[in-house]
Amino acid sequence: MVKRIVYCETCEREVELRRKDFEQKYNEIMCFLTLFTLGIGYIILKYTRKKDTCPYCESRFDLKKLKELESKQLSENSVHNTQKKD
């Protein structure tokens, strides 16, 4: 590879032609944007999931039946608790 050295009239010095270095501030901006994008993606994926699905297999649950069962269990527990106190 041949180094190309030319005279720059603006800088008034000889410079070696090569690719520009990626400045530190741009490196930090790219890192921030990458992490920001990943964070936004995580939040979107987290909050777009349905509440009635299993987190492991994506099967759906019938929440109406679940609420009915819970209300029955709560009423049974309250009856048992009042009987134990007497």
At residue 77, does pLDDT exceed 90?
no
Structure confidence at residue 48 (pLDDT): 80
At residue 63, does pLDDT exceed 90?
no
At residue 1, does pLDDT exceed 60?
yes
Average pLDDT taken over every residue of the chain: 79
User: How distant, in Å, are the alpha carbons of 4, 51, 54, 63 from that of 57?
Assistant: 61, 13, 6, 17
Structural domain spans, the chain: 5-85
Within a 10 A sphere around the Cβ of 32, how many other Cβ atoms?
10
Of 9 and 74, the one with more pLDDT: 9
**Average pLDDT estimate for 41-70:** 79
**Average pLDDT estimate for 4-10:** 89
